Amino acid sequence: MRKYWFLVGLLGSLGAAAQQKPNVILLVADDLGYGDLECYGAKNVETPNVNRLAEQGIKFTNCHATAATSTPSRYSLLTGEYAWRRKDTDVAAGNAASIIRPEQFTMADLFKNAGYTTGAIGKWHLGLGEVTGQQDWNAPLKNTPRDLGFDYHYIQAATADRVPCVYLEQDTVANFDPSAPIFVSYRENFPGEPTGLTHRDSLKLDWSHGHNQSIVDGISRIGYMKGGGSALWKDENIADSIAAHSVRFIREHASEPFFLYLCTNDVHVPRWPHERFRGKNPMGLRGDAIAQFDWTVGQVLDALEDAGIAENTLIILTSDNGPVLDDGYADQAIELLNGHSPTGPFRGAKYSGYEGGTMVPMIVRWPAEIAPQPENPTLLSHIDLLRSFGSLIGAEVPDGGAVDSQDYMAQFLGRSTESRPWVSELNHTRTLSVRTPHWKYLPASKLTPIVNWGPEIENGNQPEEQLFNLLADPSETTNVAASNPAILNSLRLIHRRASE
Q: Which residues bind ligand NG6 (CB under 6 A)?
A: 30-31, 69-70, 91, 125, 159, 161, 209-211, 222, 268-269, 327-328, 453-454
For the bound state, the minimum distance from the C-beta of residue 469 to ligand NG6, rounded and expressed in Å, comes to: 30
C-beta closer to ligand NG6: residue 45 or 222: 222
Strands 439-442 and 432-435: antiparallel
Site string for Ca ion, 407-446 (x = CB under 5 A): ----------------------------------------
| Site stretch for Ca ion (CB under 5 A), options 69-77, 187-195, 339-347, 423-431 | 69-77
User: Residue type at 18?
Assistant: A
Among 437, 354, 473, CA closest to 68: 354
Angle between helices 385-393 and 70-79 (to 10 degrees): 30
C-beta closer to Ca ion: residue 30 or 458: 30
C-beta closer to Ca ion: residue 17 or 91: 91
For the bound state, the minimum distance from the C-beta of residue 145 to ligand NG6, rounded and expressed in Å, comes to: 17
For the bound state, the minimum distance from the C-beta of residue 343 to Ca ion, rounded and expressed in Å, comes to: 14
Centre a 10 Å sphere on the Cβ of residue 434 and count the other Cβ atoms it contains.
24
| Site stretch for Ca ion (CB under 5 A), options 9-17, 63-71, 130-138, 232-240 | 63-71
C-beta closer to ligand NG6: residue 31 or 331: 31
| Contact indicator for 97, 127 with CB cutoff of 8 Å | yes
161 binds Ca ion (CB under 5 A): no
User: Under rule CB under 5 A, how many of the chain's residues touch Ca ion?
Assistant: 5
CA distance 402 to 296: 30
C-beta closer to ligand NG6: residue 85 or 209: 209
For residue 222, the partner it binds in Ca ion, ligand NG6, none, with Cβ less than 5 to 8 A by kind, is ligand NG6
C-beta closer to Ca ion: residue 267 or 423: 267
Dmax (CA) of the chain: 80
Beta bridge partners of 155: 122, 168
3-state secondary structure at position 442: strand
Beta bridge partners of 255: none
H/E run at residue 242: helix 238-252
Calculate ∠ Cα 109-115-117, nearest 5°.
75
Contacts to Ca ion from residues 312-351, by CB under 5 A: 320-321
Compute CA distances 185 → 127, 140, 212, whole Å. 14, 18, 14
C-beta closer to ligand NG6: residue 29 or 380: 29
For residue 453, the partner it binds in Ca ion, ligand NG6, none, with Cβ less than 5 to 8 A by kind, is ligand NG6
For residue 125, the partner it binds in Ca ion, ligand NG6, none, with Cβ less than 5 to 8 A by kind, is ligand NG6
| Contact indicator for 43, 339 with CB cutoff of 8 Å | yes
C-beta closer to ligand NG6: residue 161 or 355: 161
Site string for Ca ion, 25-54 (x = CB under 5 A): -----xx-----------------------
388 binds Ca ion (CB under 5 A): no
For the bound state, the minimum distance from the C-beta of residue 339 to ligand NG6, rounded and expressed in Å, comes to: 25
Residue nearest to ligand NG6 (CB): 210
CA distance 426 to 48: 32
For the bound state, the minimum distance from the C-beta of residue 451 to ligand NG6, rounded and expressed in Å, comes to: 9
For 166-229, strand residue ranges (E) read 167-169, 172-173, 183-185, 215-216, 219-220, 224-226
C-beta closer to ligand NG6: residue 32 or 491: 32
Q: What's the gap between Cα 177 and its chain centre?
A: 30
For residue 81, the partner it binds in ligand NG6, Ca ion, none, with Cβ less than 5 to 8 A by kind, is none
70 binds Ca ion (CB under 5 A): yes
Peptide bond preceding 131: is omega within 30 degrees of 0, i.e. cis?
A: no
For residue 440, the partner it binds in Ca ion, ligand NG6, none, with Cβ less than 5 to 8 A by kind, is none
Report which DSSP code applies to 141.
P
CA distance 218 to 435: 43
Give start and end residues of each alpha helix (H) in 332-427. Answer: 355-358, 385-393, 409-412
Give start and end residues of each alpha helix (H) in 45-132. Answer: 48-56, 70-79, 107-113
What spatial distance separates the first Cα and last Cα of the chain, rounded to whole Å? 66
For residue 367, the partner it binds in ligand NG6, Ca ion, none, with Cβ less than 5 to 8 A by kind, is none
For the bound state, the minimum distance from the C-beta of residue 75 to Ca ion, rounded and expressed in Å, comes to: 12
C-beta closer to ligand NG6: residue 307 or 330: 330
Binding region for Ca ion (CB under 5 A) = 30-31, 70, 320-321
